[in-house]
Amino acid sequence: MATDDLMTRALETVGDDGPPSVEAIHRLTDLADVPEPMMIAEVSELLGISPHTLRYYERAGLVEVARDGNGHRVYDAHAVRRLVFLTRMRLSGMPMRDLQDYISLVDAGEHTVPDRLDMLVEHRDTIRRRIRELTLSLTAIEYKITTYGGATGPDVPDTGAALPQERPALRAG
């Protein structure tokens, strides 16, 4: 799946040593080495999303893309930067309707900055709650792994070994 590949590349870029910094995110969006203009196949490969998704974002009003003399899409740096943002927001679970509302505010001008800030703060709070929920789920999974005699933690390699027979007292869950 393209979003899984995109997330993997993003995580590799920011590293494993704690939460990513704002500077790491700036590195993810630094497009200094990106050629301009770009065709749809190039943008698709760069961002790890399908040309179909790129066309969908255009139809949804999230990005404007110029056309060359033959009618082919031509992405400038502004369009690619916006697509980087859109892909990050989609990976974070932001619904399309919210993305459309956010982009409408961006396109309306600087006077909408307070509304955009409110949207991003609300989305951040949603993500933080989801992280807490996932952390709780991970803790439950690691607990269950230990009940089967397995090892837990970030350094444990996946050996692919079969689980031992579950003890009768633990069958409930």
Q: What is the pLDDT along the chain (173 residues), one digit of tens a residue?
A: 345 555 566 666 656 666 655 555 555 556 656 667 899 999 999 888 999 999 999 999 999 999 999 999 999 999 999 999 999 999 999 999 999 999 999 999 999 999 999 999 999 999 999 999 999 999 999 999 999 999 887 665 555 544 444 444 444 45
In a domain, 32, yes or no: yes
Residues 121 and 96 grouped into a single domain: no
CB within 8 Å of 77: residues ≥ 6 apart: 31, 34, 36
Residues 101 and 28 grouped into a single domain: yes
Residues 43 and 58 grouped into a single domain: yes
Range of the domain at 121: 112-150
CA 53 to chain centre: 14
Q: Any alpha helices (H) in the chain, and if so which ranges?
A: 2-14, 22-29, 40-47, 51-59, 77-91, 96-108, 113-147
In a domain, 120, yes or no: yes
Residues 135 and 99 grouped into a single domain: no
Under a CB-based contact definition with an 8 Å cutoff, are residues 46 and 2 in contact? no
CB within 8 Å of 116: residues ≥ 6 apart: 102, 105, 106
Residues 21 and 66 grouped into a single domain: yes
> Considering the entire predicted model, what is its pTM?
0.69
* The total number of structural domains that make up the chain: 2
